[in-house]
Structure 1
Amino acid sequence: MKIRVGVVGAGIYGSVLINAYYGAHRRGDIEFVAVADISSDALAKIDKKYGIKGYLDYKEMYEKEHLDAVAIVTPDFLHEACVIDAANSGIHILVQKPLSTDIGAAERMIKAAKDNDVMLYVDFHKRFDPGHMHLRKAVKDKKLGEIEYGYVCMEDKILVPTEWFKSWAHNSSPVWFLGVHFFDLIYWILEEKPVRVYATGHKKKLASLGIDSYDSIQAKFEFPSGATVSIDSSWIIPNSFSSVVNQQIRLVGTDGMQEVDSQDRGVVAVFGSDDYSHVINPYGQLQVDDIDAGSVPTGYTIESMLYFLRLVNKMKRDNLTPITLQADYPTGDQALVSTIMCSKVHESVEKGKVLEITY
């Protein structure tokens, strides 16, 4: 029997996930039954495009649709109630990163999932990028020797906080929205939690536009092995930049170094209708023709979403639980690490000093 799947949130990124899950539905992998959102207009668009039932109250969807799994794509600071209610309803959960912008809320969600024996999967899609997977294997295989230092940048166009998420950008920051991707990735690659951080931040551009959030935050983490990694997060890059996001990672060890330019994948397009060139990342997301399902999205951002469905399918088919399931995926406990890292970064910015990190 196919798993029954719902989604909470039909906004900008929610629409990406909905498209991915509709592809899985057409392939016959799942039964995509419903979407919940507080916007009747958003639900009307989903119904027109996909013919999927809509609910203005996610609790009603949980009660009526007998879901096996739900994907939660609400603003970061609104995850807790949706996750805990799903867990208490016995529904396996995918939630977008970060798990929460509050450590206490993150811990409560993790507890609810464990108490109800349901999966809590956090969508950290950077782990699914082949470039990052190759880097992790090189580190595990000691190809780089002992890691000494590294550098990351993760930057968005200014349209993200000023247009896409203007209504809640003040509840977030470039660290919560962007940096957390690479906080998790560094923890995953090095397989150790940082023990110390020093961070600085700037409030200039967005403040001038009436948005109370950091423009950029610079954080330097130290790990138990002695390795240090500097991570710059920003969301004020001019809108004329060639893609929505700019991102790179570089690690240097005693026997080697490796870089992954996640933004410049070598595909450039220039269209007469636009006033800037486009640097395209087809590995992240691309529409392809499927012999059974027609046009469906693929790429590592989509693979992260679909992997959750495969895990839930396996648990239902083989009568497994999250404890007995033998699989590597971004768990709630793992996501708590990056939530703590983000919190300590903000605290370091505010206090202007190096802080110890405990877990």
Structure 2
Amino acid sequence: MIKLNAVVIGGGMITKQLLLPVLLQEKKNGKISQIIVASRKKITIQRLIEEFPEAEIKGYPQIKDENPYAWKIALEKLQNPGIVIIATPDDLHAEMTLFAIEKGFDVIVQKPLCLTVKDAGKILESSRKKGVYVFTDFHKRHDLSLRAVQYKYKKGEMGEALCCHAWHEQRREIPLKYFRNWCERSSPLEYLGTHYIDMFYFVTGLKPVKIIAKGQKKLLVSLGINAFDSSQVFITWSNGAVEYLQTSWILPEKNPCLSNQGFQITCTEGEFRADNADRNSNFSTTKDGYEIFNPYFFKPYLDWNKPDTDQYLGYGADSVIQAINDCLRINEETNNLDKNQAFEKRVQMISEFEKTRPLPNQAIISTAVIEAGKMSMIKDGAPVFLDENLIPHYE
């Protein structure tokens, strides 16, 4: 059986809390061989090695205490069949994804794919030319409460989309603690809003045509960080439907869950609403106080067969595992073919995956909206239009 070698670029919150537990679990399941992690700082690698001894992580940088290009060294060391998992600040995604494609490695990139339509177009063109699988981790597609509305919509039970309200807000620890070094280069729209932009597209298949956005800077600037606290975006879709998207990352530290989030859509034949934070499964403990607990995202449970072992389950893992399984399938079905036949088979398989996965042809949708949204915010709510190629422009 083929096993994948994996490079994870980035040693921060997502890598520690989600990606390494998933990769370690899939290594035990016989799907992953070597795990390499690349970060800017050597001390980050050392801490991950100590926390995940079973993963047998090989990390970069190994010599210098800090090296912003350690990820390139890691990719030079990666052996096929290999996958590159990108979990870095949003503005670094494009360069790293394009580099990995040129090296011929399949890619899993944390959302958003990138920040501009121009870069998304480059990634789409390059990945198709090279026959490389590039998957954006829109894990909300795997939340069954949201897959349910997509099912009923596609079956015609909901009618046609009219309007939508989505919200995604997180505690202030995100910009103040985890992303302090780069949150000025992003915003809650780009980091959080991208999920529910993709969700509207995932449900309806419609394309965005007009964006109006506003953003506020009050709390973070008072703390010396020149970043948006919050944003509100009106997205007009190709059938005239309007989505109102509300984001922020400055909720109080004592908010009982990391994220307040939900999705509501009104259609001609039905309506759907879901609180994607409060799943009516809550704890109150001496250690953590009151906690709104989401058992469906990514949580450890006792393994049925090895009760002394944690088993991580949830849609946060399902999304990454789907991409790993796709890459395994591609490599298995091309393993015994000559170079030309393998390339043709890869292109054929990826073309099929483009219909059902957040590959660049789909991920470009949310990128177009966040780029247009940022343009509108900078101009204090000026309308931004998207042409047939999703290129944003002012009127």
TM-score bracket, shorter-length normalisation: over 0.9
Taking every aligned residue pair, what percent have the same amino acid on both sides? 27
**Conserved 8 A contact 2:208-2:365:** no
**Residue in 1 that maps onto 2:168:** 154
The correspondence of residues 242-253 of structure 1 with structure 2, limited to 5 A, is 242-253=256-267
**Residue in 2 that maps onto 1:34:** 36
Amino acid at match of 1:52: I
**Conserved 8 A contact 1:21-1:32:** no
Compute the displacement of 1:107 (Å): 2.6
SS of the residue corresponding to residue 260 of structure 2 reads strand
Which stretch has the larger CA shift, 278-287 or 145-154?
145-154
Which stretch has the larger CA shift, 277-286 or 4-13?
4-13
CA shift digits 1:307-346 (9 cap, x unpaired)? 1110000001112414334332111121111111011112
**Residue in 2 that maps onto 1:323:** 348
1:53 aligned to which of 55, 58, 62:
58
1:284 aligned onto 2:297: yes
The correspondence of residues 1-359 of structure 1 with structure 2, limited to 5 A, is 1-15=2-16, 16-48=18-50, 49-50=52-53, 51-56=56-61, 57-67=70-80, 68-274=82-288, 276-288=289-301, 289=303, 291=305, 294-319=309-334, 320-325=345-350, 326-327=352-353, 328-351=356-379, 352-358=381-387, 359=390
CA shift digits 1:120-177 (9 cap, x unpaired)? 1111101111011001111112222222111111101111111111111100101011
TM-score, with structure 1 as normaliser = 0.95
**Conserved 8 A contact 2:233-2:245:** yes
Query: Aligned partners of 1:303, 1:169: CA distance in 2, in Å?
Result: 27
Compute the displacement of 1:65 (Å): 2.8
Compute the displacement of 1:350 (Å): 2.5
CA shift digits 1:74-124 (9 cap, x unpaired)? 111112232122111110000111111233333333333223211111111
Query: Aligned partners of 2:205, 2:116: CA distance in 1, in Å?
Result: 23
**Conserved 8 A contact 1:99-1:332:** yes
Query: Aligned partners of 2:27, 2:166: CA distance in 1, in Å?
Result: 37
| Pairwise CA RMSD | 1.7
Query: Aligned partners of 1:156, 1:165: CA distance in 2, in Å?
Result: 12
Amino acid at match of 1:315: I
**Conserved 8 A contact 1:33-1:65:** no
Query: Aligned partners of 2:158, 2:168: CA distance in 1, in Å?
Result: 23
Q: How many residues align?
A: 358
**Conserved 8 A contact 1:20-1:296:** no
Query: Aligned partners of 2:347, 2:71: CA distance in 1, in Å?
Result: 24
Amino acid at match of 1:11: G
Q: Which runs of 5+ in 2 are unaligned?
A: 62-69, 335-344, 391-395
